[in-house]
Structure 1
Amino acid sequence: MIISLLKRALMMSTPLLFGSIAEVIAERSGMMVTAIEGIFLMGAWGGFVGTYLTGSAFIGILAAILSGLVAAAVYGVVCIYLKQHQVVTGTAINVLAAGICTYLQRVLFGVPTAPLKISPLPEIAIPLLSQIPVIGPVFFRQNLLTYVVYLLIPASYFLLFKTSFGLTIRSTGENPEAVDVAGINVNAVRFFTVLLAGVMGGIAGAFYSVGYLGMFTTNIIGGRGWIAFAICFLGNWNPKGAVAGTVVFGLTEAIAIYMQSVGGGSYFPNELFIAMPYLLTIVLTVSRRNFNVPAKLGVAYSKEN
């Protein structure tokens, strides 16, 4: 039971890691990507439709990336180049994404009497490593997207803290004037990080429709984009902190799913288990005292004459 719970916790952490690390990188540049919930949803829809129409999960994930990229590009253009408020714009895109996905789903498939299904990504057992007691079943019997996130964690830390481009990203969020003086286009750097968040957020959304459930509904994300957004804050804008926070949330969600599956609702309402990850978000946010907020987070940059 414990191995199964830990395995599910890691699986449920996968999309949150994609989303929270994407948010860390974007916010380090000064962009508060509040459209993350809508990007997740667009990715989930694009992934499902691409897989359902072609029968290929690979094409489905590409469609998810494209869908997330489009949503992120709209957000980036409006906030970076048109200088509009990041929170208001992100909220509008989240609402727009929900409407667009619902509309396009009905245009393509009508209102089916039974949910449309696809085959979710298969579990891949890594030879030898998957045979290690406890560690093997938990870490090395997962689907492809979970294995990708293993590489994403060190790669994101290396990018931000060990490369000159990572220094540029962090400087753009702290002192964009200095970056501009150095001859680097601040808005181009920020737009790049937003597009990267769109790619990673699209993959995160595809995890729910293509990698886990094998179906799409308009409430499939259920606020998990906002949880990834909160993990960025709670992780203090660092990939290491995002990993720690994501594991906690993934374990909480795995426990909630397990309790519902074994009939925990006979003792407590099922709604309590569903709400557990969100209650944890509130508790941790309130209990956190010190935040290393990027100095220009959420502030549009205009080049002085």
Structure 2
Amino acid sequence: MINLLIVTVVMGTPLLYGSISEVFAERSGVMVTAIEGIFLMGAWAGFVGAYLTKSLLVGVACAIGAGVLTAALYGWITVYLKQHQVVTGTAINILAVGMCSFLQRVIFGVPVSPLTVTPLPMLPIPLLSKIPVLGPVFFNQNILTYLMYLIVPASYFLLYKTSIGLIIRSAGENPEAVDVAGINVDRVRFILVLVAGVMGGIAGAFYSIGYLGMFTTNMIGGRGWIAFAICFLGNWNPKGALAGTVVFGFTEALAISMQSSGGGFFPNELFIALPYILTIVLTITRKSFNVPAQLGVPYKKEN
């Protein structure tokens, strides 16, 4: 059971990065539907940077850069050019798969054996890691997980207890009021999309250099969309995102455990599908959503 909880935290970390970033962006009025592509570009750039330089820190920096560039393209098209967010995100997600496949082949050719790097090490915190159950679960993780422990409360405080958070929420609820106050709505939304790029890039790097130590073009496997769904199911609130991440992280950990143990009479494909089945079930059964009033609606300033 302890091992299952450890894997829950591990698998939940990138989902929490993605869902928290989505909360901020969507609170400002922009659905970052390119999140799957941002995850994938971050995973690819993180691996390539770490592999070529032998530095995981450089890999994380490369992942952030790739995530920001992908998000900037999405933000420019949707925020400034006022194009459809779902269509644009779908196109960028498809583009990311092609780009990663092409660049991987250009840089590395067709390797005889899989290319690997040593993943981020687990860093046990002295004393805290010795606490029964809680110690190995929460305090024997890598640096990206520890960073998320700080991001979650900081995100809630920033969004609900500061003037910056008020501006972000107002941009998604009543952008006209933000504009009248002399604040550029498009700039606010674009910055939040870039923040989503930073956190999405880190989330992607978590899979390639924080967990698996390798890269394949199908390694994200829809997890960006799961993070997107967690934002919805968590009612656009960091607390809700945290709760949703725990549920989905546990489901994925359970799926991994069942696959490794053989799964009994059930095929492995069923366990692989568990997180996606859960997404559908929770979306259907959810009764109400506190949707930002102008979510997905480009802001067009009146003359």
TM > 0.5 fold call: yes
1:221 aligns to 2:230 (yes or no): no
Superposition map of 1:7-46 within 5 A: 7-46=6-45
C-alpha deviation, 1:181, in angstroms: 0.3
Instruction: Give the structure 1 partner of residue 83 of structure 2.
Output: 84
Superposition map of 1:89-128 within 5 A: 89-128=88-127
Task: Give, in whole Å, the separation in 2 of the partners of 1:87 and 1:111.
Answer: 34
Instruction: Give the structure 2 partner of residue 301 of structure 1.
Output: 299
Task: Give, in whole Å, the separation in 2 of the partners of 1:276 and 1:111.
Answer: 33
Instruction: Give the structure 1 partner of residue 188 of structure 2.
Output: 189
Task: Give, in whole Å, the separation in 1 of the partners of 2:47 and 2:53.
Answer: 10
Q: Deviations over 1:23-72 (max 9, x none)?
A: 00000000000000000000000100000000000000000000000000
Task: Give, in whole Å, the separation in 1 of the partners of 2:189 and 2:74.
Answer: 11
Instruction: Give the structure 2 partner of residue 67 of structure 1.
Output: 66
Residue type at the aligned position of 1:199: V
Instruction: Give the structure 2 partner of residue 6 of structure 1.
Output: 5
Task: Give, in whole Å, the separation in 2 of the partners of 1:267 and 1:159.
Answer: 48
1:269 aligns to 2:250 (yes or no): no
Task: Give, in whole Å, the separation in 2 of the partners of 1:114 and 1:226.
Answer: 30
Correspondent of 1:282 among 264, 280, 283: 280
SS in 1 for 2:299: coil
Residue type at the aligned position of 1:263: G
1:48 aligns to 2:76 (yes or no): no
C-alpha deviation, 1:263, in angstroms: 1.2
1:173 aligns to 2:172 (yes or no): yes
Structure 2 portions without partners, runs of 5+: none
C-alpha deviation, 1:303, in angstroms: 1.1
Task: Give, in whole Å, the separation in 2 of the partners of 1:114 and 1:275.
Answer: 28
Tell me the TM-score normalised to structure 2 length.
0.99
Structure 1 segments of 4 or more deviating over 4 A? none
C-alpha deviation, 1:282, in angstroms: 0.3
C-alpha deviation, 1:113, in angstroms: 1.9
C-alpha deviation, 1:262, in angstroms: 1.0
Residue type at the aligned position of 1:244: A
Task: Give, in whole Å, the separation in 1 of the partners of 2:34 and 2:243.
Answer: 23
C-alpha deviation, 1:80, in angstroms: 0.6
Task: Give, in whole Å, the separation in 1 of the partners of 2:124 and 2:60.
Answer: 21
The total of aligned residue pairs comes to 303
Structure 1 portions without partners, runs of 5+: none
1:141 aligns to 2:140 (yes or no): yes
Superposition map of 1:246-261 within 5 A: 246-261=245-260
Computed over aligned residues only, the root mean square deviation of the Cα atoms, in angstroms, reads 0.5
Residue type at the aligned position of 2:300: S
